Chains A and B, each alone.
Chain A
Amino acid sequence: MPVVDYPGREITCKIVYYGPGRSGKTSNLQYIYERVPAERRGAMVSLATHNERTLFFDFLPLELGTISGFTTRFQLYTVPGQAYYRNTRKLVLQGADGVVFVADSQRRQQEENIESLRDLHEALADQHVDPRTLPLVLQYNKQDLPRDLISPPHLMEEELNFRGVPSHAADALTGAGVFETLRSISELVLRRLNATSHAGART
């Protein structure tokens, strides 16, 4: 659940960008960092290898503003996508309030997408989180690539979106679909928190 600081009237939500290696998770955060107002974002921290692949995580804090009297902040994280960083992914995923799954739309990457989605569900189950209850948004990235290389969004839906969660076609390098994705996951996370607090108020 989001961290709610009652005396300070602050809510901090953790959103994790998950997906296979090179699917565009860091590109999402870089685009967001470059385009949101400077006074609404903190420093973006990236721990990358020499060949610029994410080693541990990227981190970007954002301030959304005041909602229901609470200053609301998001902490955006990415995980390293490569298969051998599974333990690192589990660490970063701990305490996540929402997940953006960034899928690579290239046809030859479809197995990696499915494997990464399965890995996400296993990591959540290991942490006793029911994947069906966690806010999740799918992003079909790299839709700008030539048509003969990629699966169109409706085929990506058939392959990956068995839960029927919100999904967005995207090209993270130019920013298409990036803000739409962030907006979707932000709405899901905060509506869930609002519903939880209302449920608490009724007990």
Chain B
Amino acid sequence: MNEVAMTGLALARFVREAGVQLALLLEADGRVIAQHGFVRRIDVATASTLAAAIGATTRELGLFLGDGTLGPIHHGGGDVQLFLAPLPERAPARLLLTVFDARTSLGLVRVFWEDLRNALRREATAQAPSDEDFERELQESLTALLGGL
């Protein structure tokens, strides 16, 4: 199974077990890597951009105070809550943005966020392509397209 499918499965499992409505796996700059679930009122592009901005400013504030790490952030709204947390298993760190309501709890979300981190850590260890893998795949693909020269 490739990395994309494994990441998608890990995120789907997180949504199901934590009981959240939407989970977005983001690059630090806000680009969406994977999405599972749906919330009508949440525009994914806007939410991702804002989440990235929060991540960046929080990191900078941390550096300002002598600690550059980003801890999980919870916004307890009325009927919709947000949980933004780092996934530092890869460099650069990614972000998890999840949206949930009263059908689950912050405690459950945190528990399964840890599980998701572990799953992605295992995946990163297993899937990180080496330079050798990259070069082999590049040469095989070029030969398939252009033939042996």
Residues in A lying within 8 Å of B, measured CB to CB: 6-7, 9, 36-37, 40, 62-69, 72, 179-180, 182-183, 186-187, 190-191, 194, 198, 200-203
Contact = CB atoms under 8 A, between A and B. Distances in A.
A169 to B, nearest CB: 14
B129 interface: yes
Interface in B125-149: 127, 129, 131, 133-134, 137-138, 140-142, 144-147, 149
Interface in B90-149: 90-92, 127, 129, 131, 133-134, 137-138, 140-142, 144-147, 149
Interface stretch (B12-20, B28-36, B58-66, B72-80): B28-36
Contact of B149 (A72, A179, A200, A202): A179
Q: Which 5 A-B pairs have the closest CB atoms?
A: A65-B141, A179-B146, A68-B129, A67-B137, A64-B141
Interface string B1-27: 011100000000000000000000001
Nearest to A198: B131
Q: How large is the interface on B (under 10, 10 to 19, 20 to 34, 35 or more residues)?
A: 20 to 34
Given A68-B129, A201-B90, A36 B145 contact: yes
Contacts of B3: 69
Tell which of B91, B133, B134, B146 has the most Cβ of chain A within 10 Å. B146
B91 to A, nearest CB: 5
A203 B4 CA distance: 23
Contacts of B4: 9, 69
B131 A194 contact: yes
A183 B146 contact: yes
Contacts of B31: 6
Interface of B: 2-4, 27, 31-35, 90-92, 127, 129, 131, 133-134, 137-138, 140-142, 144-147, 149
A6 B27 contact: yes
A203 B68 CA distance: 13
Contacts of B33: 6-7
A9 B32 CA distance: 11
Given A6-B27, A62-B145, A200 B138 contact: no
A182 B127 CA distance: 29
B146 A6 contact: no
Nearest to B146: A179
8 contacts: A6-B33, A7-B33, A67-B138, A68-B137, A69-B127, A69-B129, A72-B141, A179-B146
A9 B5 CA distance: 11
Tell which of A62, A63, A69, A203 has the most Cβ of chain B within 10 Å. A69
Contact of B141 (A7, A67, A69, A182): A67
B78 to A, nearest CB: 30
Nearest to A62: B145
A68 to B, nearest CB: 4
